[in-house]
Structure 1
Amino acid sequence: MNIQRKLVEKRYSKLSIYNGVAYFAATPDRPFDVSATIIPQARQILARVEERLAEAGSTKSDLLFVMVILSDRNYLSTFNEIWDEWVSDIIPPSRACVIAELTNPDMKVEFIIHARVGLAH
């Protein structure tokens, strides 16, 4: 079975598909607004996830696993409110949330995603 790679950049593929599963990371829009709360970045990243899912032929109902990486634990309750609203119309996927230093100090959130492909509703 072949690996499909989409949105290929010099350093990485933004989306890889293998054996019916899409794998990708998602970040908010650059440049990051350091003065903003987590709210705009959270909304941007959720929109990015939906874009990548569409590229894979999937929807958020096809999410299998989401790892949420926050740069500060103080963002968790606000992020969870936005997340809860976003998944309110689906059965939520498995999710893990960690606090970690991200590669850009102005980035507040990043996702790692696994999703089923080819069965878009």
Structure 2
Amino acid sequence: MSDITRHHTGPRMSQMVIHNGIAYLAGQVGAPGESVTAQTQSCIEKVEALLAEAGTDATRMLSCTIWLADMADFAEMNAVWDAWVPEGHAPTRACGEAKLATPDYKVELIITAALP
């Protein structure tokens, strides 16, 4: 039986769970009310910090689910995403429109990544 390690755990959720060599990240959001560009950059910074804490990085991403409050922001979010994803290491990805936790959130990233 493999251990399950939880990071930044509160009463409702953990920011990251590691099991069987996979890091599962909770949805990461940016500062409410900022632009899609700023929120996407903030999400990425949070993802990078959690991946580093797990001992991995963006080249080891397996999948990403992206929720946008408005699909009209798809190109703006993708401009930031495309500049960040390491060439040749794009994960599987899905992107859809959803009501997020507050109307001030415009983008949320949910990542899984392999540990080295």
TM-score where L is the length of structure 2: 0.92
Residue 23 of structure 2 is matched in structure 1 by 22
Residue 104 of structure 1 is matched in structure 2 by 102
Runs of 4+ in 1 over 4 A off after TM superposition: none
Percent identity over the alignment is: 35
CA distance in 1 between counterparts of 2:40 and 2:59 reads 19
CA distance in 2 between counterparts of 1:115 and 1:88 reads 14
**2:76 pairs with 75, 78, 95, which one?**
78
Letter in 2 for 1:37: S
> CA, structure 1 residues 110+85, in 2 after alignment: closer, same or farther (shift >3 Å)?
same
> CA, structure 1 residues 58+105, in 2 after alignment: closer, same or farther (shift >3 Å)?
same
Letter in 1 for 2:110: I
Gaps of 5+ in 1: none
**Post-superposition offset of 1:87:** 1.1
Farther off after superposition, 47-56 or 6-15: 6-15
Farther off after superposition, 87-96 or 63-72: 87-96
Residue 114 of structure 2 is matched in structure 1 by 116
How many residues of Structure 1 are paired with residues of Structure 2 in the alignment?
115
Compute the RMSD of aligned alpha carbons: 1.3
Does the 8 A contact of 1:25 with 1:110 survive in 2? no
Residue 68 of structure 1 is matched in structure 2 by 66
TM-score where L is the length of structure 1: 0.88
> CA, structure 1 residues 60+88, in 2 after alignment: closer, same or farther (shift >3 Å)?
closer
CA distance in 1 between counterparts of 2:88 and 2:9 reads 30
> CA, structure 1 residues 43+56, in 2 after alignment: closer, same or farther (shift >3 Å)?
same
Does the 8 A contact of 1:38 with 1:78 survive in 2? yes
2:17 pairs with 1:57: no
Gaps of 5+ in 2: none
CA distance in 1 between counterparts of 2:105 and 2:28 reads 8
